[in-house]
């Protein structure tokens, strides 16, 4: 199964300020703020939803096609992704803009001041999927992940027009896209991914009920944080997928993306939906146990052992012939 993963590709610059932002803000002078925080920690993490998802799929042994827009500062990030098995040939490189960047400073009270620089991501709207499909011999599924809003609409339209099944994953962009646009992104999706909070927001924004959303998509996959995930299809009983036990919650950044990576891997291997959800859950716990969205390693033996522990021997036997982790 040939899967293209479209969406954001970004780096996160995370700083910590040893103090309190509140103490530096003078109530009478908020009309002329001029502050610089001396921070003592800088962590640079590879991120962006599409890159996180493609990375996770590659770690499980697939070769996903990453589609998104970056700047000419992408070289190091590209080699990291390619080393892990992600196909980056169809990544669009902007001639003028930098790769999207998330800059966030957190103080001692967990207050955050952050900015997201869109940069090259805005050029995602220039990307056409047909050349990607021609290059790789046709696409079986396109994930439309959070990205430049015009890019998301364009990819969805193109999939509909060319009859390529698509998976809608609107995530963070739900907040800023208009109701009509959300309807366009969801309607006719083969798969719809969201967390449970976003599920409610999708219903509110589209004006479609739970059942109506379900009637407009093939499969709806809703992640429930520590409660795992639920998979629905019209006219079928819900499939509740228990979470995979975590060995320590360190940082939730990227868990949703890792879930999608695992789920898509299961689909690519032709496994039943319950199995897809279980692979998603276990991939997500690996991310939960590390700081950052791509700092984890999947080991073939550990993954299968943990999968057996969580979901039993028979379930593990079904995934064993397919999974090919980068590490033994
Ligand atoms: N405490 C936990 N224990 C086990 N698994 C967890 C836990 N929290 C999250 N997960 C796994 O991660 C998946 C995605 O989590 P969640 O529903 O919080 O996604 P999200 O809200 O989209 O996250 P984000 O957008 O921050 O990546 C869940 O379906 C589950 O498999
Ligand atoms: Mg999410």
Contacts of 86 by beta carbon, 8 Å cutoff, 6+ apart: 51, 54, 55, 57, 58, 63, 64, 66
Q: Give the active site residue among 73, 157, 257, 305.
A: 257
Measured CA distances, 138 to 109, 122, 162 (Å): 50, 26, 11
The pick from 49, 256, 262, 294 for probing ligand 1's pocket by mutation, whose C-beta has the most ligand atoms within 8 angstroms, reads 256
Residue 254 Cβ contacting ligand 1 at under 6 Å:
yes
C-alpha 30 to ligand 2 mean position (Å): 33
What pLDDT digit, counting tens, does each position of 169-221 carry?
999 999 999 999 999 999 999 999 999 999 999 999 999 999 999 999 999 99
Tell me what pLDDT residue 240 has.
Answer: 98
169 is catalytic: no
Q: Are 288 and 255 in contact (CB under 8 A)?
A: yes
218-246 pLDDT per residue, tens: 999 999 999 999 999 999 999 999 999 99
pLDDT of 144 reads: 98
Angle made by CA atoms 133, 95, 176, in degrees to the nearest 5: 70
Closest ligand to the CA of 228:
1
Q: Which of 174, 225, 249 for mutating ligand 1's site (highest number of atoms within 8 Å of CB)?
A: 225
Angle (deg, nearest 10), helices 75-83 and 49-59 = 30
- Among the residue ranges 67-71, 136-140, 249-253, the one predicted with the least confidence is 249-253
Q: What is the DSSP string of 100-123?
A: EEEEEEEETTS-EEEEEE-GGGGG
For 172-235, the DSSP string reads GGGTTS-HHHHHHHHTT-SEEEEEHHHHHHHHHHH---HHHHHHHSSEEEEE-GGG-EEEE-TT
Read off the DSSP letter of residue 125.
Answer: G
pLDDT tens by residue, 29-73: 889 989 999 999 999 999 999 999 999 999 999 999 999 999 999
Residues near 76 by Cβ (< 8 Å), separated by ≥ 6? none
Atom of ligand 1 lying closest to residue 194 CA: 22
Cβ–ligand 1 contact at 284 (below 6 Å):
yes
CA of residue 260 to ligand 1 center, whole Å: 10
Cα of 132 vs centre of ligand 2, distance in Å, is 26
Q: How far is the CA of 122 from the centre of ligand 2 (A)?
A: 21
């Amino acid at each position: 199964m040939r899967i293209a993963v479209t969406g954001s590709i970004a780096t996160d610059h995370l700083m910590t300020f040893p103090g309190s932002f509140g103490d530096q803000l003078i109530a009478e002078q908020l009309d002329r703020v001029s502050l610089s925080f001396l921070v003592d920690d800088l962590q640079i993490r590879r991120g962006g939803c599409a890159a996180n998802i493609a990375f996770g799929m590659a770690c499980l042994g697939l070769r996903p096609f990453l589609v998104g827009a970056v700047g000419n500062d992408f070289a190091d990030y590209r080699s990291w992704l390619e080393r892990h098995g992600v196909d980056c040939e169809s990544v669009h490189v902007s001639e003028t803009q930098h790769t999207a960047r998330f800059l966030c400073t957190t103080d001692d009270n967990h207050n955050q001041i952050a900015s997201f620089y869109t940069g090259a991501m805005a050029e995602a709207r220039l990307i056409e999927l047909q050349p990607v499909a021609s290059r790789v011999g046709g696409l079986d599924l396109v994930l439309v992940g959070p990205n430049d809003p015009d890019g998301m609409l364009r990819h969805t339209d193109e999939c509909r027009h060319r009859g390529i099944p698509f998976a809608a994953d609107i995530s963070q962009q739900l907040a800023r896209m208009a109701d009509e646009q959300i309807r366009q992104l969801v309607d006719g999706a083969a798969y719809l991914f969201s967390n449970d909070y976003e599920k409610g927001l999708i219903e509110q924004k589209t004006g479609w009920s739970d059942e109506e959303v379900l009637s407009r998509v093939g499969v709806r996959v809703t992640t429930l944080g520590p409660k795992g995930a639920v998979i629905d299809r019209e006219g079928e009983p819900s499939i509740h997928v228990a979470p995979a036990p975590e060995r320590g919650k360190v940082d939730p950044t990227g868990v949703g993306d890792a879930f999608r990576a695992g789920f898509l891997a299961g689909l690519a291997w032709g496994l039943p939906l319950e199995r897809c959800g279980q692979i998603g859950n276990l991939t997500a716990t690996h991310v939960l146990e590390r700081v950052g969205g791509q700092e984890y390693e999947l080991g073939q033996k550990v993954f299968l052992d943990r999968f057996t522990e969580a979901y039993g021997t028979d379930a593990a036997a079904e995934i064993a012939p397919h999974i090919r982790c980068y590490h033994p």
